Amino acid sequence: MLSRHAMAATFILLQVSVFSPAFAQTGQLELWTAASSAAPSGLITSRLSPKELDRWKGIERLVFADNGNHQPLHPTLRGMWEWIETSGHVVYVEIMRSKRSATCTAGSFSIEYFDPKGERHIGIIKLSLANIDQAYVGEGTARENGFIPFEGLGKEERYAEVLGHELAHAVDILTTPVSAKMVEVKIEKTNEMLLSALPRRKGDSLSSELKTRLSERDKLLQGLEKRAEQMEYIVWRELTESKTFRDKARSLSAGR
């Protein structure tokens, strides 16, 4: 479900309910621009505390797990991670510390700095581990294709699934300068116009230009979300299929 009038904050562009209303989990895509300083490219963890970095390292190990024969167990997830690493763009990783249940966001991808030359955009992937831990898993959250997010997955595997979703947004948006520009123009500008049209008196209607822009923005957001959900499903399948192997490998190494 797409929230059509995400006006609560200037930078909230996409709010998609992922889970049951009881836990009202949402994924958010945010975009805004800000001044930035030079930084190395790839996934950057400098914004994590030492404790958060430990947890991130656990997720990283899962992403890069192989079958003992250099065959990746999660090629899609790993492929997206490696794409970011070599893209020349910067994607900060952050772990949301707020436990406000009202937001209940599992994860988000946002653009912090839009490089007009398209060479070095700066994005942020945020994960809310606490919200992911508490997420309801069941029929009520099934997607159109019957896929139930997180089904059968352990703690860290759930984080990896959400990471897969947000990495898919990052790759999708950063892949070409055109698509990043399109996101900026269609989404950010539309939101600015929408906000500057407020406050309006009751009964005032939006201009037809703004209405057209809004429907184009929503179409773009729905497309982005659909692709991220498809990638998330593939990541979930990889995590599910590798589970037996990983469990066996773990019990073998524990028994040594």
Antiparallel, parallel or unpaired: β 26-31 and 105-113: parallel
Q: Is 221 in the site for Zn ion (CB under 5 A)?
A: no
| Choices 31-39, 175-183, 187-195, 225-233; region in contact with Zn ion by CB under 5 A | 225-233
| Choices 84-92, 142-150, 227-235, 236-244; region in contact with Zn ion by CB under 5 A | 227-235
Type and span of the H or E element at 61: helix 50-63
| Choices 61-69, 154-162, 195-203, 228-236; region in contact with Zn ion by CB under 5 A | 228-236
Contacts of 186 (CB under 8 A, 6+ apart): 213, 216, 217, 220
Q: How far is the CB of 219 from Zn ion (least distance, A)?
A: 15
Q: Is 228 in the site for Zn ion (CB under 5 A)?
A: yes
Q: Is 163 in the site for Zn ion (CB under 5 A)?
A: no
**Token couple for 177:** 């300068």
Instruction: Give whichever of 27 and 123 is closer to Zn ion, judged by the CB atom.
Output: 27
Q: Which of 27, 123, 149, 164 binds Zn ion (CB under 5 A)?
A: 27
Instruction: Give whichever of 27 and 164 is closer to Zn ion, judged by the CB atom.
Output: 27
Centre a 10 Å sphere on the Cβ of residue 139 and count the other Cβ atoms it contains: 9
8 A C-beta contact, residue 206 and residue 214: yes
Distance (Å, rounded) from C-alpha 118 to C-alpha 114?
A: 8
Q: Is 164 in the site for Zn ion (CB under 5 A)?
A: no
- The 26-31 sheet, strands edge to edge: 12-17, 26-31, 105-113, 122-127, 90-95, 42-44
Instruction: Give whichever of 131 and 242 is closer to Zn ion, judged by the CB atom.
Output: 131
Site pattern 95..134 for Zn ion (x: CB under 5 A): ----------------------------------------
Instruction: Give whichever of 218 and 225 is closer to Zn ion, judged by the CB atom.
Output: 225
Distance (Å, rounded) from C-alpha 19 to C-alpha 133?
A: 13
Instruction: Give whichever of 87 and 105 is closer to Zn ion, judged by the CB atom.
Output: 105
Q: How far is the CB of 228 from Zn ion (least distance, A)?
A: 4
8 A C-beta contact, residue 123 and residue 110: yes
Distance (Å, rounded) from C-alpha 157 to C-alpha 151?
A: 10
| Choices 36-44, 206-214, 222-230, 243-251; region in contact with Zn ion by CB under 5 A | 222-230
Instruction: Give whichever of 63 and 224 is closer to Zn ion, judged by the CB atom.
Output: 224
With tokens 């989990």, the residue in question is: 25
Residue 3's closest CA among 225, 253, 238?
225
Size of residue set near Zn ion by CB under 5 A: 3
| Choices 24-32, 79-87, 96-104, 240-248; region in contact with Zn ion by CB under 5 A | 24-32
Distance (Å, rounded) from C-alpha 143 to C-alpha 64?
A: 27
Q: How far is the CB of 221 from Zn ion (least distance, A)?
A: 9
Contacts of 130 (CB under 8 A, 6+ apart): 96, 99
Give the footprint of Zn ion on this chain (CB under 5 A).
27, 225, 228
